[in-house]
Structure 1
Amino acid sequence: MAKPNIYVGINNEINGGMTSIGKIIRDAWVFDLIDESETCEGWNLAGVDALLQKVNNEWDKYGCLVSHLPPELREKHFKIHDIAIQKAKASGWSGDSETDDEDE
């Protein structure tokens, strides 16, 4: 089965959007690279990859650490990601799949 080349959108993602692309989108919201209403539904993978490059460029400015973000960005990051975690947990996501290999 071929991988789709069109993104389903963060609101249609598996695991309540707790995926690598979902994180890219949430971080793009934090850095105002896209509007918080933008779900990226219908984007091709090249568009998502271009967004990833922009997000990475922003994170590089802060050493890739939330603790290095200015207070207003840190607050926005916590708000956006906390809401996402709450929604994902409500839809059945537990976070266990992200740590399954840590016991090995």
Structure 2
Amino acid sequence: MSGRPQKRTYIGIDQDKFGGMTPTGAIVKDAWIFGLLQETEDTCAGWDAGRMQILYDKTSELWAQYHYRVEALPEDIRARHERIHREAMARARALGWAPDSMIEEDES
């Protein structure tokens, strides 16, 4: 054993909790939406944090062009966004995901 910690990598959106309803899964879905990755091929399995950060930066630059608003996206990208998110939510619900479970209760 070398004693060095193993480098953590992403398990892939297809293996991610509730089908990618995580911050990292959101990066992958955004990359699909903007055509940076192929939906049918690129799950980002095995990607390290540095590579995911680069992808996040690219998707953020693209979102900034549209002021981070879905309504401002061109029709083809908006339609892809709606389809990808609709399919992702359906998969997540089938796996037991409940949107309300992601919201922390205010304890005050």
Same fold (TM over 0.5): yes
CA contact (8 A) 2:18 2:91 kept: no
2:43 is aligned with 1:34: no
Greater percentage in helix: 1
2:82 aligned partner, one-letter code: F
Say which SS state the counterpart of residue 96 (structure 1) adopts. helix
Report what 1:52 is aligned to.
56
What is the Cα deviation at residue 4 of structure 1?
A: 5.9
Show CA shifts across 1:20-39 (max 9, x none). Answer: 01011001001001111200
Show structure 2 runs of 5+ residues with no match: none
Show CA shifts across 1:58-93 (max 9, x none). Answer: 000000010110111111000001100000000000
Show structure 1 runs of 5+ residues with no match: none
CA contact (8 A) 1:29 1:36 kept: yes
- 1:27–1:102 distance in 2 versus 1, CA, 3 Å: farther
1:19 aligned partner, one-letter code: T
Percent identity reads 36
Report what 1:12 is aligned to.
15
Q: TM-score, normalised by structure 1?
A: 0.90
Report what 1:96 is aligned to.
100
What is the Cα deviation at residue 102 of structure 1?
A: 6.0
Larger radius of gyration: 2
CA contact (8 A) 1:7 1:40 kept: yes
Alpha-carbon distance in structure 1 between the residues aligned to 2:81 and 2:106: 26
Say which SS state the counterpart of residue 100 (structure 1) adopts. coil
RMSD: 1.8
